[in-house]
Structure 1
Amino acid sequence: MHDSLVLYTNPMSRGRIARWILEEVGAPYRTELIDYGPAMKSPDYLAINPMGKVPAIRHGTTIVTECAAICAYLADAFPEADLAPPLTARGAYYRWLFFAAGPLEAATTDRDLGMEPNTEQQARVGYGSIEAVLETLEQAVSVSEYIAGAHFSAADVYLGSHIGWGLQFGSLESCPAFVDYWARVSDREAFRRANELDDRAMSSVAKHHPA
C-alpha cells in the first residue's frame, strides 16, 4: 500500500465514514488500526490527533481529522474521483456536508442524551429544535437523487452515513424519504468494499481483545 496516504481508524467508530470515502477515491492507502484506551491516547497518536480520537488521515505531510473535513479534503485532493461539484456549483454540497456535521449531529446527540433545549433555549442553540432539523433533512433528501443534485458526491458519503446509522440504531425515524435516500447512496461498490474491510478489521480486533 502507499505510505503517503494513511488512515488511522478503528472499525467500531466514525472511521467507517473515512474508509468509505477512501474507497470512493480509489487511491492506494495504508490502514493503521488504533485500539481504544492507551493506544488512542499515546503520545505518538496524539501527535496525529490531539483529541485522541479516530479517524484521522495523513496525506504526505498533511493531517486531517473530523469526518466532514476528511470527506471534503479527499474530494479536492483527488479530483479525478469526481466527488465534488465544480466550485461554482458547490452551494448545496457545502451546505449539506456541514449541516450533517453541525445541526444534525448536535440535535440527534442532544435528544439521545435527554438534553433537548426547551422553547426558550432553542434560540440559543444552533440547530433550534430536533423537529426543525429532521423536517429540513427530510425535504432535502427528497429534492433530487443525491443531496447536491443529480451526481453522487462526498457530501452523500457523510450525510448518508449519518442517515444510515440513524436508521440502523433508531436515532432517526424510518420515514420513506430517509429509507429511499439511504438505499440510493449505499448501493455502491465502494461502500460494500469499505464495509467488508471494516468488518474484517473488527474480527482482527476481536482476536486481539477477546471478551
Structure 2
Amino acid sequence: MNAPHITLYYAPQTRATGTRILLEELGAPYDLHVLDIHADHFADTDFRKINPLRKVPTLKSDNTIITEQVAIALFLGDRFPDAGLAPAFDDPDRGTYLRWMVYYAACFEPALIDKSTGHDPGPASSSVYGTLEEMLSTLEQAMTPGPFILGDRMTVADILWGVALHWTMMFDLVPENPVFRDFAQRIMSRPLAMKVQAMDETLAAEQAAARGQ
C-alpha cells in the first residue's frame, strides 16, 4: 500500500502538537501547513474552506479531509500499521484500545471544559462523564500499573493521553498525581516528542514576533 500524501494543518502549542508527535512516532511522511490562530486575519483565512470550524489539527490525506483529533489519531494509527502503534482489527486488544481513544473525546474533554468554564453538568446520572472525580478515577485505573494503557505495549492511545495530561496538568485542570505525572512524562520525554516541543517553541516565538508581541 502506497503511503498517502499527508498535510497537517497546524498551530504550535495546541492539540495539533499531539498529532505531529504521532506522525513523527509513526515515521509517516507529511507536509506542515502552519497557521497563526492568534492573528487578526485568522477569521478570514481560506482555512475555513478546509475546516469550517477552523480547528487544528486538521489532516488532508490525498484528497480526504479528516477533522477531530481522535478521528485523525485513529486514522493514522491504522494507515501506518508497520509502526505497530494500533492493534489490528482482529487483535484482542483492539476493543480496549478503542475504548480509551473514544473516552478522551466522550468524557475527558467535556468534563474539563465544564470545569474550566464553571458549567454545571447536572446530576451525575445524566452527565456523559458522571462526575469529574469519577472520570479521573476511571482514567487513573486504566493507567495502572502501566507503563502504558495496554501494559507493556505502547499505542496511539498513549500518545493521545500523554500529551493531553501534560497540558491539562500544566493548566491545573487535572491534579498532578503520581500516575498522571509519570504517564505524561513517559510520553513527553521521548526523543521525538521533545523534538516537536522544541520546534513548537521556535514556531510560537516566530509567530509572536510577526504579530509584534
TM-score (structure 1 length as normaliser)? 0.91
How far did residue 99 of structure 1 move? 0.7
Aligned residue in 1 for 2:20: 19
Q: Which residue of 1 is the match for residue 84 of structure 2?
A: 82
Equivalent residues of 1:23, 1:193 under 8 A apart: no
Gaps of 5+ in 1: none
State the TM-score, normalized to the length of structure 2.
Answer: 0.90
1:112 aligns with 2:116: yes
Structure 1 CA distance, aligned partners of 2:52 and 2:94? 30
Change in Cα spacing, 1:68 to 1:39, as seen in structure 2 (3 Å) is farther
Equivalent in the alignment of 2:166: 164
Q: 1:13 to 1:75 in 2, by over 3 A?
A: same
What displacement does 1:27 show? 2.0
For residues 106 and 30 of structure 1, the distance between their equivalents in structure 2, rounded to whole angstroms, comes to 31
- Whole-angstrom CA distance in 2 between matches of 1:3 and 1:102: 29
What corresponds to 1:138 in structure 2? Answer: 140
* Unaligned residue ranges in structure 2 (runs of 5+): none
Name the CA distance, whole Å, in 1 between partners of 2:118 and 2:43. Answer: 29
Structure 2 CA distance, aligned partners of 1:114 and 1:102?
A: 18
Q: Kindly indicate whether the alpha-carbon contact (under 8 Å) linking 1:9 and 1:56 is maintained by their aligned counterparts in 2.
A: yes
Aligned residue number for residue 178 of structure 1 = 180
Whether the aligned pair in 2 keeps the contact of 1:40 and 1:53 (CA below 8 Å) is no
* 2:152 is aligned with 1:150: yes
Q: Distance in 2 between matches of 1:16 and 1:41?
A: 21
Q: Percent identity?
A: 33
Moved more, 29-38 or 198-207: 29-38
Shift of 1:198: 1.5
| Corresponding residue pairs, total | 208
SS in 2 for 1:64: strand
**Aligned residue type for 1:96:** W
In 2, are the aligned partners of 1:7 and 1:31 still within 8 Å (CA)? Answer: yes
> In angstroms, what is the RMSD of aligned CA positions?
1.9
The corresponding residue for 2:73 is 71
Distance (Å, rounded) in 2 between the aligned partners of 1:38 and 1:52: 14
1:129, distance to aligned residue in structure 2 (A): 0.6
